[in-house]
Amino acid sequence: MGNFFSEELINEIKDSNEIVDVISQYIQVKAVGLSYKALCPFHNEKTPSFIINPEKQIYKCFGCGEGGDVISFIMKMENLDFIESIELLAKRANIEINRTESLEDIKKQIKGKNLYYEINKKAGLYFYKNLTKKPNPALKYLLERGLTSGILKSLGLGYSIDSWNSLMQYLQEEGYHLSDIEKCGLIRPGKSGGYYDYFRNRIMFPIFNVRGEVVGFGGRVIDDSMPKYLNSPETQVFSKSNILYGLNFVRRDTRNRQIILVEGYMDVVALRQAGFKNAVASLGTSLTEFQGKLLKKYCDEIIVCFDGDEAGEKATMRSLDILNKIGCRFRILVLPDNKDPDDFIKLYGKDKFQEHIDNSMSLIDYKIFLARNEYFGDTIEDKVKLAKKISDIIKDVKSPIEREGYIEKVANETGISKESIKLEILNKIGNTFVHGSKFKYSSGYRKSNSYIEMVPPVEQKGHIIAEKQLIKFMITDNKLIRYILNSISAEDFSVAEHQEIVAYLASNMDNMKDKRLEEFFPHLKENINKILLTDIEYIDLNNTLDKYIVNLKKYKLLYNIRILEEEQHNIVNNPCLTEEEVENKLLNIGTEIMKKNTQLQKLKRSMKGG
């Protein structure tokens, strides 16, 4: 009878292929408010009229009239039929498909799943009616927690009474077969025959898919029983790793394109009652890649707000790794004294919670926060350990400007010199480690630190010789280390090996007497020998130092300007940023570039004056 795809499979493929991501692989798109704009790929135009709506997952060209979803885009762009387009998108999302089923089989599957949605909906209504029957312990508990009847109704919360088979009997009376009720995960077979209700004496949270269909339940105990939370078992319509609690509500209310990711059902309920209608939870499990992609589909920024205990910190880091991997924009919200959102809002109010959202941390700041919690003592040992830990974190910061800011912050907080921290970072970047006072070197250092390419080829040889001469002056006369480094730093040198040596000299300027550098840098022995062979006999350092410093600083400035320009390019091509955010970031970076150019012009004038 031919090959067909189930509606469920098609929805899964569409959900797993975010339309902006797919289209941006073919054409350049630009964020404009909550939408994206581009030049239409289906007709010639000079003014963009091709609009992508990420919330509805559709596109429309107001020039030629073409429009549709991600499947129709692939069909048109790749000149494929529907089946070929489905296969291409499935492969892109690593989804296995099977086209051997007949239409009758697929209709049977759809009918079965619709039946499960229907049974779950009936169960949800039953649980809700139980909750509204006064008095009952679940309603008493929820009202004492400060929840209103309005929020309970809007989210469909319910109560599974303390009975072995009340739900089963109700669903049977409604005409449903025991085998279908069991497949929904609502009842289980007993050891001595018969069935019993899976949920008993629990507050019930109906779990919806993004289309608003009830796919499962989460049950919370009212007393001290264990487990505290119990989720529906995996079924044909429910997989907890693919669902986010509350997302069906949030997708209709993402005006600021921001979602708060919390740990549990009660956090979502409490935040929603307080006016934060953009909260979702990951069903008590670590965030999965599929859930991360769902979040990315419906928002531009994720605020991760898990508990502050050890388990919460581990869950946060696992979630951040997932979000980082799939390219999500996120920040981390840590509430004081390990408070959960519900307790915090009760104590301090929603305005204070919003203030914490506004001041939530970047990934680097969060890692530094954890490091400070680990090494919080005032002893020298703790401060050294903290500085080493933070140096390991800062090495991953790509922007030289950001890195410099973090180094200064760490130096102020620990009392350890900036030069020592820079040396620690340089060692870590180069896969270098210290064993006693001996250094072991990896050639990876050179690739990540040298900016000699900024120096024109015709000048490179003289530039490098000048660096060697300065280093030889410092090696042969330790008094000159402080004199030279008053005007220049290790990072101003263009060759990575030179940076490493100068950073070491800066950190040991007071105890370099009788030390041979090649003993501390065996990996740089050849380089150090070349420096020692450099002729400085006829050079008057007083007359040439300013010239050397100007040249080194000039090319360092040119390098920094190039890095800033690369950041501008990345910002313009970042689909996660709004137009306003792009303009603000470009303005800030443009201001930095102007400052660097002003410094550069001053240097050039000083060179002409010399």
pLDDT digits (tens, 9 = 90+) for 511-542: 666 556 666 666 677 778 888 888 887 777 77
Confidence of residue 298 (pLDDT cuts 50, 70, 90): confident
The angle subtended at Cα 471 by Cα 466 and Cα 476, nearest 5°, is 125
Is 581 a residue whose pLDDT tops 80? no
pLDDT for 438 equals 34
Confidence of residue 439 (pLDDT cuts 50, 70, 90): very low
**DSSP percent split of the chain into helix, strand, coil, nearest 5:** 55, 10, 35
Q: What is the mean pLDDT of residues 443-451?
A: 40
Helices (H), 286-362: 289-298, 310-325, 341-348, 350-358
Q: What is the mean pLDDT of residues 136-150?
A: 93
Q: Which two tokens stand for residue 410?
A: 């760490």
Q: Worst-scoring range by mean pLDDT, 432-436, 567-571, 577-581? A: 432-436
pLDDT for 556 equals 78
Domains and CATH numbers, the chain: 7-92 (3.90.580.10), 102-238 (3.90.980.10), 239-361 (3.40.1360.10), 452-607 (1.10.860)
- Tell me if residue 540 falls in helix, strand or coil: coil
The 10s digit of each residue's pLDDT in 12-28 is: 888 888 899 899 989 99
User: In the predicted model, what is the mean pLDDT of the chain?
Assistant: 82
Instruction: Report percent pLDDT > 90 for the chain.
Output: 30
Among 185-194, 303-312, 527-536, top mean pLDDT goes to: 185-194
Query: Rounded distance, CA 426 to CA 15, Å?
Result: 43
CB atoms near residue 233 (< 10 Å) = 13
Instruction: Note the maximum CA span of the chain.
Output: 105
Please state the length of the chain.
610
Comparing CA positions, the residue from 363, 326, 337, 341 lying closest to residue 270 is 341
The 10s digit of each residue's pLDDT in 377-429 is: 777 778 778 888 888 888 777 776 777 788 888 788 777 777 777 777 765 55
Is 448 a residue whose pLDDT tops 50? no
Is 468 a residue whose pLDDT tops 50? yes
Q: What is the mean pLDDT of residues 334-361?
A: 91
pLDDT for 590 equals 77
The 10s digit of each residue's pLDDT in 106-125 is: 667 777 788 999 999 999 99
Cα-only R_g, the chain: 31
pLDDT for 443 equals 32
415 Cβ contact partners less than 8 Å away, ≥ 6 residues apart: 383
Is 435 a residue whose pLDDT tops 60? no
DSSP per position, 358-369: HTPBPHHHHHHH
Comparing CA positions, the residue from 51, 55, 26 lying closest to residue 38 is 51
Relative to beta strand 301-305, strand 258-262 is parallel
Enter the pTM of the model: 0.60
pLDDT for 607 equals 58
Q: What is the mean pLDDT of residues 271-298?
A: 87
Q: Which residue has the higher pLDDT, 103 or 202?
A: 202
Query: Rounded distance, CA 408 to CA 406, Å?
Result: 5
CB atoms near residue 559 (< 10 Å) = 21
pLDDT for 216 equals 96
Q: What is the mean pLDDT of residues 222-228?
A: 87
Query: Rounded distance, CA 411 to CA 240, Å?
Result: 45
- The answer to whether the Cα torsion of 221, 224, 225, 227 is positive or negative is positive
